[in-house]
Amino acid sequence: MIPVYEPFIDKTEKEMAFECIDSKWLSGEGPHVKRFEREVARYTGVKHSVATSSGTSALEVALHAIGISSGDEVIIPALTNIACAISVIRVGAKPVLVDVIPENWGINTKKIEEKITSKTKAIMVVHLFGHPVKMDDIYPLAKKFNLKIVEDCAQAFGALYKGKKVGSLGDIAAFSFYGNKIITTGEGGMVCTSNTDYATRASSYRNLYFGQEDKFLHSKIGYNFRMSNIQAAIGLAQLKKIDWIVKRKRAIARLYREELPGLSLNLENSDSRSVFWMNFVLMPPDFPYSAKEIIGVLAKNGVETRPFFQGLHVQPALINVGLFNKESYPITEHASENGFYLPSGPTLVDKEIKFVCEKIRNLENITI
């Protein structure tokens, strides 16, 4: 089976994990965590990083740190991981949706302003599939309406916008280190910011709001969202490979475009460096088979793919709490129905990519 995504793990991760085990500091707040935070901050170009237990908890911590709370509204794209909506809801605020654009699957910046109300406090941009959102459209809106910018960089570690790393482009950012993200710690996340107050709050919130002066006097209700020292050790090993991973991801995307010239695959914007987290294909409307049928045929040929996720406005969990009543986001709906991901892990070799492409090119000859 050609897997849809496998992380690049070798003896470096083993060595770092064993080093951590030998040190006997396995829990959170350990030296490897602090080192991982410092190195991610340096790589991303921010002053502070706060490691967390997941990308979802990083988003929640980030929203809390910038002061989002009940009664507030946060604008998020309709097409994204449900963690974006959940994190907004968990801090007591309301997610408000905006459709995406097919060029890079990021939020449609032209449609944000019509959703801004007196309650809107932040815009959460998501660099979907590792393609940076056009931030130059976001900055004037944030300024005009006094909004904070939160970046969800879960799929975009290492991507650049106008020469700057994603994660350093807004007020605060969240990364995920889940197994299929650009780098992994198994489970894990990171909050990045250059604002010292936000970093202090993020760090308290993740760790039960232990007191600054008297450790055991807690001033607020926090969470245990700590990353363990072993996870951070694995993260440090992954960081050593980041340049190779980004290069390989970009080479895989290039090969797909060369091998499948007739298919709609995302291109890189000239002002950005995308990390092509997943190579997302949108089948043309006149294609004889549906995305679902194609996924089935590829599976029979030993090629694992993933159907695309559904928009937030159709999620029962969110509709059941009274959100997005009969709202419609056509671009999101079209992508969910007709799109799927091709195998995209950094460990895939050219021969495997070419095999996948050959199976896709042969689709028209297959009877389903």
Could you tell me the smallest distance in angstroms from the CB atom of residue 356 to ligand PLP? Answer: 22
Cβ nearer to ligand PLP, comparing 66 with 76: 76
Identify the residue whose tokens are 């992954």: 238
Could you tell me the smallest distance in angstroms from the CB atom of residue 57 to ligand PLP? Answer: 7
Answer whether 150's CB lies under 8 Å from 63's CB.
yes
Chain center to CA of 118? 28
Identify the residue whose tokens are 């202090």: 200
Could you tell me the smallest distance in angstroms from the CB atom of residue 124 to ligand PLP? Answer: 10
Chain center to CA of 299? 26
Could you tell me the smallest distance in angstroms from the CB atom of residue 306 to ligand PLP? Answer: 12
What span, in angstroms and rounded, lies between the C-alpha atoms of 151 and 142? 13
Cβ nearer to ligand PLP, comparing 185 with 203: 185
What span, in angstroms and rounded, lies between the C-alpha atoms of 100 and 108? 5
Could you tell me the smallest distance in angstroms from the CB atom of residue 155 to ligand PLP? Answer: 5
Cβ nearer to ligand PLP, comparing 306 with 354: 306
What span, in angstroms and rounded, lies between the C-alpha atoms of 198 and 49? 10
Cβ nearer to ligand PLP, comparing 260 with 278: 278
Cβ nearer to ligand PLP, comparing 81 with 203: 81
Cβ nearer to ligand PLP, comparing 56 with 305: 56
What span, in angstroms and rounded, lies between the C-alpha atoms of 16 and 185? 12
Q: What is the dihedral of CA 10, 11, 12, 18, to 10 degrees?
A: 130
Could you tell me the smallest distance in angstroms from the CB atom of residue 186 to ligand PLP? Answer: 10
Cβ nearer to ligand PLP, comparing 16 with 107: 107
Sign of CA dihedral 302, 183, 125, 160: negative
Could you tell me the smallest distance in angstroms from the CB atom of residue 248 to ligand PLP? Answer: 19
105 conformational bin, left if phi > 0, alpha if psi -120 to 50, beta if neither: left
Could you tell me the smallest distance in angstroms from the CB atom of residue 123 to ligand PLP? Answer: 15
Sites of contact with ligand PLP (CB under 6 A): 54-56, 80-81, 83-84, 126, 152, 154-155, 176, 178, 189
Cβ nearer to ligand PLP, comparing 150 with 260: 150
188 conformational bin, left if phi > 0, alpha if psi -120 to 50, beta if neither: left
* ∠ Cα 7 10 16 (to 5°): 105
What are the b/e assignments for 2-17, b being 16+ CB within 10 Å? bebbbbbeeebbeebb
Could you tell me the smallest distance in angstroms from the CB atom of residue 259 to ligand PLP? Answer: 26
What span, in angstroms and rounded, lies between the C-alpha atoms of 13 and 172? 29
Output the CA–CA distances (angstroms, integers) from residue 29 to 26, 124, 125, 186, in the order listed. 9, 28, 29, 17
302 conformational bin, left if phi > 0, alpha if psi -120 to 50, beta if neither: left
Cβ nearer to ligand PLP, comparing 232 with 360: 232
